[in-house]
C-alpha cells in the first residue's frame, strides 16, 4: 500500500508580540490547507523572538498558560490537521526549555521534544549567542508516530542539525521523516544551511522537512529563511527562498525504502577502535 503525506512548511518573521505572529500563521495555515496539506510545520521560535534572555524568561509561560500553544491546538482541531509547532519557550518548575510540539487533528499534544543541543557560539562577524543562558537542554531524542499510514517522524530543532549522530540514531530507530524547525543565522545560512540539510537527508535516507524563520525581526536578529523540503536522495523538492510564504509537497514514503535499499549505510554503522 502506498504511503503518502502532504506536508507544508510555513516561513515568516516572528515578532516580539505572539498575537501579531499568530495572525500571520493563521493566514499561512489557510493557504497550506487550500494546497491540500494535512501536516503543517512551523519554524523554531514559532510565535515570538525577544532581544535577550531576560525578556524571554519574563514572558515564558507554562504549557497550560501559553497562549500560542492553546491557540494552535484549537486550529489543529477545527481544521482536523497535524501541526508541528517548531518551538516555544516553556517554563517548567525550575527551568526553561525550548520545546517543540506535535499537535494532532483532535487538538491534543501527541508528542513533545526539548532541544538537546543549545546554540552557544561566537560567529566570525562577532555575533554571540548563548542559548544556555536562557534554556536547559533536553536529554531525550523523540520519534513521533502518526497512526495514519504508520509514519515515524524524528523531532529535532535547528542547532541539532550539526550533530549527525542524532539523525543517524533517529533513522536507525525507524524515523522516515526528520523535521528541523529553525531560526538559522543569516551569517552561517548562506554557506551551511543547504549543505547540512542535504547531508542529513542523504546520510539517513530520510525526508528532511525544515521550516525556517526569515528576514529581520523586531529584536534586531536576521534569519536566513530558505525553508526546505528534501527527498531521501538529497534532492531539494521545495525552497521558500527568503519571502514570507508557504511551501508544500506530497511526499511518497516508499522513496525512503528505495533510498535505504540503494545505499544501505545505516546497517553498516560501526564503532571504531582508535589508537591516537
Residue 22 is part of a domain; what is its CATH number? 3.60.110.10
Q: What is the pLDDT of residues 122-165, one digit of tens each?
A: 988 888 888 998 899 999 999 999 987 889 999 999 999 999 99
The catalytic residue among 44, 73, 152, 176 is 44
In a domain, 216, yes or no: yes
Pairing status of strand 236-239 against strand 228-230: antiparallel
The three-point CA angle 203-11-6 to 5° equals: 60
- pLDDT given at position 274: 66
Residue with cell 521550516: 211
- Count the domains in the chain: 1
Q: What is the chain's pLDDT, residue by residue, as a tens digit (276 residues)?
A: 679 999 999 999 999 999 999 999 999 999 999 999 999 999 999 999 997 888 888 899 999 999 999 999 999 999 999 999 999 999 998 899 999 999 999 999 999 999 999 988 898 888 888 899 889 999 999 999 998 788 999 999 999 999 999 999 999 999 999 999 999 999 999 999 999 999 999 999 999 999 999 999 999 899 999 999 999 999 999 999 999 999 999 999 999 999 999 999 998 887 666 676
The catalytic residue among 73, 79, 112, 115 is 115
Judge contact between 246 and 31, C-beta under 8 A.
Answer: yes
- pLDDT given at position 267: 85
In a domain, 275, yes or no: no
The three-point CA angle 64-68-70 to 5° equals: 45
DSSP the chain: ---EEEEEEEEB---S-HHHHHHHHHHHHHHHHHTT-SEEE--SS-S---SSHHHHHHH-B-TTT-HHHHHHHHHHHHHT-EEEEEEEEEE-SS-EEEEEEEE-TTS-EEEEEE-SS--EEE-TTS-EEEGGGT-PPP---EEEEETGGGEEEEE--GGGGG-HHHHHHHHHTT-SEEE--B--BTTTIIIIIHHHHHHHHHHHT-EEEE-BBEEE-TTS-EEE---EEE-TTS-EEEE-TTSSEEEEEEEETHHHHHHHHHS-GGGG--PPP---
Distances (CA, A) of 216 to 14, 71, 185, 246: 9, 25, 11, 18
Judge contact between 213 and 185, C-beta under 8 A.
Answer: no
158 catalytic residue (yes or no) = yes
In a domain, 273, yes or no: no
115 catalytic residue (yes or no) = yes
Q: What is the pLDDT of residues 200-218, one digit of tens each?
A: 999 999 999 999 999 999 9
Backbone angles phi, psi at 164, to 5 degrees: -60, -25
In a domain, 67, yes or no: yes
Judge contact between 44 and 182, C-beta under 8 A.
Answer: yes
44 catalytic residue (yes or no) = yes
The three-point CA angle 104-29-117 to 5° equals: 65
Its domain, for residue 191, covers 4-263
In a domain, 118, yes or no: yes
* pTM as predicted: 0.95
Amino acid at each position: 500500500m502506498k504511503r503518502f503525506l502532504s506536508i507544508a512548511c510555513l516561513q515568516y518573521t516572528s515578532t516580539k508580540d505572539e498575537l501579531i505572529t499568530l495572525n500571520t500563521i493563521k493566514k499561512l495555515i489557510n493557504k497550506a490547507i487550500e494546497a491540500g496539506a494535512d501536516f503543517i510545520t512551523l519554524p523554531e521560535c514559532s510565535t515570538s523572538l525577544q532581544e535577550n534572555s531576560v525578556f524571554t524568561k519574563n514572558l515564558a509561560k507554562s504549557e497550560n498558560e501559553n497562549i500560542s500553544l492553546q491557540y494552535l491546538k484549537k486550529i489543529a482541531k477545527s481544521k482536523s490537521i497535524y501541526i508541528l509547532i517548531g518551538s516555544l519557550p516553556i517554563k517548567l518548575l525550575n527551568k526553561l526549555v525550548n520545546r517543540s510540539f506535535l499537535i494532532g487533528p483532535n487538538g491534543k499534544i501527541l508528542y513533545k521534544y526539548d532541544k538537546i543541543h543549545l546554540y552557544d557560539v561566537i560567529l566570525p562577524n562577532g555575533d554571540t549567542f548563548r542559548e544556555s543562558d536562557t534554556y536547559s537542554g533536553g536529554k531525550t531524542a523523540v520519534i513521533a508516530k502518526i497512526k495514519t499510514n504508520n509514519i515515524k517522524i524524528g523531532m529535532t530543532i535547528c542547532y541539532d542539525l550539526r550533530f549527525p549522530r542524532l539523525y543517524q540514531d533517529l533513522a536507525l530507530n525507524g524515523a522516515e521523516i526528520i523535521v528541523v524547525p529553525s531560526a538559522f543565522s543569516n551569517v552561517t545560512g548562506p554557506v551551511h544551511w543547504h549543505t547540512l540539510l542535504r547531508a542529513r537527508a542523504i546520510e539517513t535516507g530520510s525526508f528532511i522537512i525544515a521550516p525556517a524563520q526569515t528576514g529581520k525581526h523586531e529584536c534586531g536578529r536576521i534569519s536566513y529563511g530558505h525553508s526546505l523540503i528534501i527527498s531521501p536522495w538529497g534532492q531539494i523538492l521545495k525552497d521558500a527562498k527568503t519571502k514570507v510564504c508557504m511551501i508544500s509537497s506530497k511526499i511518497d514514503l516508499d522513496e525512503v525504502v528505495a533510498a535505504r535499499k540503494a545505499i544501505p549505510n545505516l546497517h553498516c554503522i560501526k564503532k571504531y577502535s582508535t589508537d591516537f
